[in-house]
Amino acid sequence: MKKSRGILLGCSAMLLFSVLLAGCGSSRSGQEPIRNGLTVEKDGQVLLCIEESFDKGYYDIDELREMVQEEITAYIGAGGREGTEPIVLEEVTGLEEDGRKVRVVYRFADGAAYSGFQKETLYYETVEQALKARHIFSGAVLFNGAESITLDEANQKKLGNRHVLVTEAATRIGLPYEVVYYSDGVQLLEDGSADTSQCTEPAVLLLKK
């Protein structure tokens, strides 16, 4: 996954966040959010939760919170969707008594909001919608161990209402439903999340529902 756009722009001098990979807070669905990764909820909202070292010699927590919020506000004002809150800063919290670690949690209204802010695609939609929009192409082959399935017209009626996640994000991702098939490079973890950090092409995850 790319580093957070807001923190990179506002705090590049302190090198706050490194490449993200391994829950913090709690999501509205009750699903435990993935630490240093993404959590996609049933309604399509996306949580980005980051925990990383924090150098108080440059900024304190309040200044960091203000800086990140300013970046979100500037992004929305520059081209966001008026009348909505596509991005909400849910949390900026010091995790240790000495303040050497910080947690930052963003909530995105949907995959489009995440994609625009992070500059990497994320689509959470039905198979039918993904095929129609060409976010996945007819004939794409997904795997689960020795088994495979082809996303084509023959399977569209059977799979059309199931959800699929398509993303360039190279990170650990929590999903609202079980992952049943996935593209090359995806690793399923014991807790049900998916690691897409080894994918050389956008990851495709077919969910059970």
Q: Report the chain (209 residues): mean pLDDT per 10 consecutive residues.
A: 48 36 47 86 96 76 91 82 78 77 94 95 96 92 94 84 97 97 96 96 97
Per the CB < 8 A criterion, the answer to whether 51 and 60 are in contact is no
Q: pLDDT tens digit string along 12-23?
A: 333 334 333 334
CA-closest candidate to residue 84, choices 104, 105, 113, 44: 113
User: What share of the chain has pLDDT > 70, as a percent?
Assistant: 78
CB crowding 7-21: b at 16 or more within 10 Å, else e: beebbeebebbeebe
Task: Find the helix packing angle between 111-118 and 61-79, rounded to 10°.
Answer: 110
What pLDDT does residue 23 have? Answer: 42
Q: Residue type at 61?
A: I
Separation CA 126–CA 204 (nearest Å):
12
DSSP, res 147: E
What is the full DSSP assignment across 120-138? S-EEEEEHHHHHHHTSS-T
